Chains A and B, each alone.
Chain A
Amino acid sequence: MLLGVITVIYIIVLALQVCIPYVVRETIVFGVTVPEQHVKHPSLQRAKKHYTRITGIVGITLLIIMLITNWTVAFSELTQSILLSCFLFAMIAVSMGMYWVNHQKVLNLKKHEQWGKNLKQVRAVDLTARNRDEMLPWPFFVAPMGVTAFIIAFTLFRYELMPENIAVHWGPTGAADDWVEKTYFTAILLPCVMLMMQCMMWGIADSIKRSAIKLSVNHKEESLESQLKIRKFASWSVMLLSYGLTIVLTVLQLSNIYPSLAEGEKLLPLLILFLVLELGGTLVFVWKLREWRLDYTENVTSEITDVDEDRYWRGGLIYINREDPSIFVEKRFGIGWTLNLGNPRGYIVIFLPLVILLLISIFSL
């Protein structure tokens, strides 16, 4: 079971890592801003191929070694899980290493050939873009909190009838494997965790909404359309994740009240469905990103280019810009968004719920 889950995750992560250079914006190569006038430079194509080939070959080799070690050496479940995760992290480390090598390569090439030296940097904004933004409004993210409130009330109502031990951890098959003594606090622990998750999802959706709609100066209309589609898709994905978590955690909490619900492997199909939906959603998102990506096949003769923000990106991965009011910015190497670490609001949206989750789990022990 564990081997199956980790192998599936391994393959999906590897596939994502391998295709990232071909999914992210073409004007940002390995975290370096490349003026559109240079995106077809042969060295860039070579760097992308180099990254994909090495990451792919090493990744598959590691997978084979992982499977062989797993089958030839009989481990206990604990050492098996440590071994499998080590291989997963090793593969991610290799792809990050390959990223780093190519990041330096492109950086040097850009410096050496003085890209963008004679181009005027321009930032374009469509003042009506916000009216066309189709992200879901906040009630969609607050609605599941009603379920939480109901389940808390219901738990307290049924408190006397609940079993003396409350499950707080579940194994990969959906069967509970760790319990704590029943108190009013531990009884509503799970709904509290659920509430924090819902808050976080709402915060993320709201932050993406407040983030920049970035246009490409030489392709304003196409880039606007692509941005609006990505934002709409992201907002729906966050909503589905929030609803999915709500359903799974509600069922788990109900199984605390009615233990017969979680006997054997009854909850397994639900958990698998949740995992498949989330992983499938990610793959569809990557597919769509690739489809909506701007096409730079035409030769640009324009004298202007997008603003080069490399100085705000540490290593092309971490964004710190105190002037920028955006909380989230699109990742430069990867799928989705990353935090603007220069904006304190981001810490509230992401780290506050995490800290509260941590406190809840510490107090429940």
Chain B
Amino acid sequence: MLIQIEPQSDVPIYEQVTRQIIEGIAKGEMKPGDMLPSVRNLAADLGVNMHTVNKSYHELEAKGILTIRAKSGAIIRSAEERTLTPEQLKQIEKNLKPVVAEGMVLGATANQIEHMMKKVFADLQVLTEGM
């Protein structure tokens, strides 16, 4: 699986890494049990400080998406291991709020936003099933 970083972007690098790994798992490009490279190796390949990758891995671990193994890397947890908790759902809702609010202010209707959500969901899923 490939990830692409833009060092000059406004989005912090650790955030870019986190988002792309999550998206990769959602698309099925990486499966439960797959290994991610060690912090040191990924930092070397990205040419960034180790703390940056470490921060991203710890964020993903806190979200329950992967388990960090000292030195060797990180393993993606399976769906059973990461059952959705009410707190996580609440967090996702919180993260969605500013996006939906922006849509409302710009004049998007509830239908349009709902349609958009379904489309994004379907786009990710098409790839999963295609694998």
Residues of A within 8 A of B (CB): 120-131, 210-214, 217, 220, 307, 309, 321, 323-326
Contacts and interface: CB of A to CB of B under 8 A. Distances in A.
A325 B43 contact: yes
A124 B7 contact: no
A125 to B, nearest CB: 4
Given A121-B8, A123-B4, A125-B5, A130 B47 contact: no
B7 A123 contact: yes
A128 B1 contact: yes
Contacts of A324: 44, 47-48
Contacts of A214: 45, 47
Interface residues of B, number: 25
Contacts of B8: 120-121
A121 B2 contact: no
A275 to B, nearest CB: 34
Nearest to B7: A307
Contacts of B1: 126-128
Contacts of A212: 44-47
Contacts of B7: 121, 123, 307
B70 to A, nearest CB: 16
A324 B4 CA distance: 17
B30 interface: yes
Contacts of A120: 6, 8
Given A212-B47, A323-B49, A325-B49, A124 B3 contact: yes
Interface string B85-121: 0000000000000000000000000000000000000
Interface in B1-52: 1-8, 21, 24, 30, 35-37, 40-50
Contacts of A307: 7, 47
B29 to A, nearest CB: 9
A126 B46 contact: no
Nearest to A328: B44
A125 B6 contact: no
A326 B40 CA distance: 9
A125 B36 contact: no
A91 to B, nearest CB: 35
A124 B49 contact: no
Contact of B37 (A124, A130, A321): A130
Nearest to B47: A324
B6 to A, nearest CB: 6
A125 B2 contact: yes
B48 A125 contact: no
A220 B24 CA distance: 17
A323 B48 contact: yes
B25 to A, nearest CB: 11
Q: Which of A123, A213, A307 has the most CB of B within 10 A?
A: A123
A326 B37 CA distance: 15
Nearest to B3: A125
Nearest to B43: A325
9 contacts: A123-B4, A125-B3, A127-B30, A127-B42, A130-B37, A323-B48, A323-B49, A325-B50, A326-B47
Contact of B3 (A127, A130, A211): A127
B40 to A, nearest CB: 6
A124 B4 contact: yes
A126 B7 CA distance: 17
The 8 closest A-B pairs by CB, nearest first: A125-B45, A212-B44, A326-B44, A123-B5, A323-B49, A130-B37, A127-B1, A124-B4
